[in-house]
Amino acid sequence: MAIERTLILIKPDGVKRQLTGQILSRIEAKGYEIAELKQVSATREQLEAHYEEHVGKPFYEPLVEFMASGPLVAIIAEGQNVIPGFRSLAGTTDPTTAAPGTIRGDLGRDWGLKVQQNLVHGSDSEESAAREIGIWFA
């Protein structure tokens, strides 16, 4: 069991819907430590770097536009196995089918919203976490 750091983003839908507090509560209730936290308006450069693995996919442009549509909250969280642990707390990508008990499953809404509006991002590996922390907390 390793103490890890992960990069979490509360996406613009989460901030707009005033779910920041609830999402932070779930992270803290799990026992993860909030090492850094700030609200930011993402630049196009940050988003292009953050989503470089998705360049060219059909959802890339709408995703980058959505992520630039309002402020987001960037967080570095620390804890035992926090990288897979937070992804499990977040739930699967599509909020309409994410399991109950997860952030996306409990709080994600099916109002004809697109799949990109799934409230949170969490790094998917140690390598991604190091890279993404460098983008948002340079």
Which residue(s) pair with 72 in the sheet? Answer: 40
DSSP conformational letter for 99: P
Task: Check whether 26 is labelled as a binding-site residue.
Answer: no
Task: Check whether 118 is labelled as a binding-site residue.
Answer: yes
Task: Check whether 81 is labelled as a binding-site residue.
Answer: no
What order do you get walking across the sheet with 120-122 strand by strand?
Answer: 33-40, 72-80, 3-10, 120-122
- Return the amino acid letter for 86: F
Per the CB < 8 A criterion, the answer to whether 75 and 34 are in contact is: yes
In the complex, least distance from residue 123 CB atom to ligand RTP, rounded to whole angstroms: 8
Binding site for ligand RTP (CB under 6 A): 59, 63, 93, 115-116, 118, 121-122, 124
Of the residues 5, 26, 50, 121, only one is catalytic, namely 121
Active-site residue 50, yes or no? Answer: no
C-beta closer to ligand RTP: residue 79 or 104: 104
**Known binding-site positions for ATP:** 11, 59, 87, 93, 104, 118
